[in-house]
Amino acid sequence: MISPENTVIGFVGTGVMGKSMAGHLLKAGYPLVVYTRTKEKASELIENGAEWAETPLEVAKKANVIITIVGYPADVEEVYLGENGIITNGRENTYVIDMTTSTPTLAKRIYEEAGKKGMHAIDAPVSGGDIGARDAKLSIMAGGDRDAFLAVEPIFNLLGTNIVYQGKAGAGQHTKMCNQIAIASNMIGVCEAVVYAEKAGLDPRTVLQSISSGAAGSWSLSNLAPRIIDGNFEPGFYIKHFIKDMNIALDEAEAMGMMTPGLALAKKMYAGLSEKGEENSGTQALYKYWDK
């Protein structure tokens, strides 16, 4: 049974979401070893008792459960399979949990390479953004062996409230693609609704009171539309990372012979914003597409 008494957790990636997630593990009493490319992003965790590691290799040598949440599939591949990577240098019976949104194909490869070394790999991307990470209310969608999932479930319970085992390796990442496809079209609707309310001379906040709890209700409408109205476009989730996710989903859908017109439109709109310098804004900055 995993517990703070027999587990050292390694955490790689302390960005917008990772910092809060790692903080919950510290508060629960787990010894924590952290690595991120910019050490300053881990300074608060280090001040609160986390141990700093210079490389993923060092994390692999010290931890028996390792969580990663980094930027792109290339980063995931390097962190796990590079010369200083977690699996390259990992120990038998270590649990490795990638919570990055990455490709199902890479998730399967990591699972296979981990298995060769007697390690247990789980792909467990999350949804909920900075708010979900901060409040430990993330949705966690997991793929891999069920026994491995059950072993690390106590850790997931410290990070989220909707934790679902989806199936074999890669299933978590496929589920996250479903999530991103749903969000992509929904964000267009959220932004259009706010713009429409403004052009109709309505108070958008009052409009939200009516539509957020009705059939139009969604997480994005409740949590991101107020940020739009406040002019707050800071990232809970970066546009550049959302474009990465949409590209993965488009590739996977194409491989299955599936048309995704809503996803394709959202990707085109976000790509246009990125070209205008909005790549580091939050996804709610899609509102700027209307350029009023």
Q: Which residues are catalytic?
A: 176
Phi, psi of 19 (to 5 degrees): -60, -45
Q: Evaluate whether 172 touches 141 at the Cβ level (below 8 Å).
A: yes
**Neighbouring residues of 33: CB distance < 8 A, sequence distance ≥ 6:** 8, 9, 10, 11, 50, 51, 52, 53, 58, 59, 62, 63
Give bridge partners of residue 1 from the DSSP assignment: none
State the helix-helix crossing angle for 171-199 and 261-273, rounded to 10 degrees: 70
Contact 108, 131 (CB under 8 A): no
Write out the H or E segment, with its range, that includes residue 11.
Answer: strand 9-12
Q: Is 268 within 8 Å of 262 (Cβ atoms)?
A: no
Longest dimension (CA), the chain: 63
Distance (Å, rounded) from C-alpha 106 to C-alpha 74?
Answer: 10
Single-letter code of the amino acid located at 32: L
Q: How far is Cα of residue 208 from the mean position of the Cα atoms in its chain? A: 27
